């Protein structure tokens, strides 16, 4: 990406956006343990970064039912973004990191 922004909450939870809302391929995001079809907005990432909010979303998952020895689809409320990792700010030299305040 030559322009835009990136919000990195943890190694497997980030959003990179080229800033063009008309370009559907201009956004790359990773959500650990969350379906890619789950709606998580840029504002949700910013709120998790600055306000330590927790974005909760409904997820449908396969779970093993030990009583009947079958797999079932279960809908559950899960944390979509995590704000529990240590956050760092990248300095102007693009190498050095300092704790995010």
Q: Which residue has the higher pLDDT, 21 or 80?
A: 80
CA distance 83 to 45: 9
Query: Please, where are the H alpha helices in 1-101?
Result: 42-51
If DSSP codes are grouped into helix, strand and coil, which group holds residue 85? coil
Identify the pLDDT of residue 85: 62
Q: Which residues contact 92 (CB under 8 A, 6 or more apart)?
A: none
Residue 39 has pLDDT above 70, yes or no: yes
Strand pairing category for 56-65 and 70-79: antiparallel
At 42-66, the pLDDT tens digits run 888 888 888 888 888 888 888 888 8
pLDDT above 90 covers a percentage of the chain that reads 0
> Is the distance from CB of 3 to CB of 19 less than 8 angstroms?
yes
pTM for the whole structure: 0.67
Q: Which residue has the higher pLDDT, 11 or 79?
A: 79
């Amino acid at each position: 990406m030559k322009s835009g922004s990136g919000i990195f909450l943890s190694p497997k939870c980030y959003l990179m956006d080229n800033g063009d809302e008309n370009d559907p391929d201009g956004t790359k995001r990773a959500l650990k343990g969350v379906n890619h079809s789950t709606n998580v907005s840029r504002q949700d990432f910013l709120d998790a970064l600055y306000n330590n909010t927790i974005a909760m979303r409904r997820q449908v998952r396969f779970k093993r039912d030990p009583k009947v020895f079958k797999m079932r689809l279960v809908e559950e409320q899960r944390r979509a973004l995590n704000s529990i990792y240590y956050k760092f700010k990248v300095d102007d030299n693009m190498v050095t990191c300092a704790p995010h305040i």
